[in-house]
């Protein structure tokens, strides 16, 4: 089976590492970024296509998780996109396309895993 690439974007290293450990066990190749700028650099690097994205909504810098989700959607239209946030009523969520799922913090790791696996 060909390994799929998962991009994790969160400024909290603990969250990135927990999700990465769970998803690596399912055969995903994990790429991690601490903010949207790092994520943009990873998305633009060849050669592996991103099959799934898990991104925090709010991060330091000029760009946020919505910007990352929009870039991934443009580059990889079939990617599974999951946005996690501690503020599920944030106005920026309206800028996501209908194919993106939003999950509130705190979340259960099995919910993240099940969502990604059921849509990949």
CATH of the domain at 63: 3.40.50.2300
CA–CA separation, 70 and 90 (whole Å): 17
pLDDT digits (tens, 9 = 90+) for 56-78: 999 988 999 999 999 999 999 99
Q: In a 10 Å sphere around its CB, with 0-12 CB exposed, 13-18 middle and 19+ buried, how is residue 77 labelled?
A: exposed
CA–CA separation, 101 and 92 (whole Å): 13
Name the domain count of the chain.
Answer: 1
Domain with 68, as residue range(s), is 5-119
On whether the pTM is more than 0.75, the answer is yes
Q: What one-character DSSP code corresponds to residue 91?
A: G
pLDDT digits (tens, 9 = 90+) for 12-31: 999 999 999 999 999 999 99
Beta carbons of 9 and 68 less than 8 angstroms apart? yes
């Amino acid at each position: 089976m060909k390994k799929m690439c998962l991009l994790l974007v969160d400024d909290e290293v603990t969250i990135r590492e927990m999700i990465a450990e769970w998803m690596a066990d399912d055969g995903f190749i994990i790429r991690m970024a601490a903010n949207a700028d790092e994520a943009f650099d990873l998305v633009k690097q060849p050669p592996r296509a991103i099959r799934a994205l898990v991104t925090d909504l709010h991060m330091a810098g000029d760009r946020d998780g919505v910007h990352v989700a929009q870039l991934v959607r443009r580059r990889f239209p079939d990617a599974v996109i999951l946005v996690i946030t501690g503020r599920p009523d944030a106005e920026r969520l309206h800028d996501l396309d209908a194919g993106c799922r939003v999950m509130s913090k705190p979340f259960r790791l099995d919910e993240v895993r099940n969502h990604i696996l059921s849509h990949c």
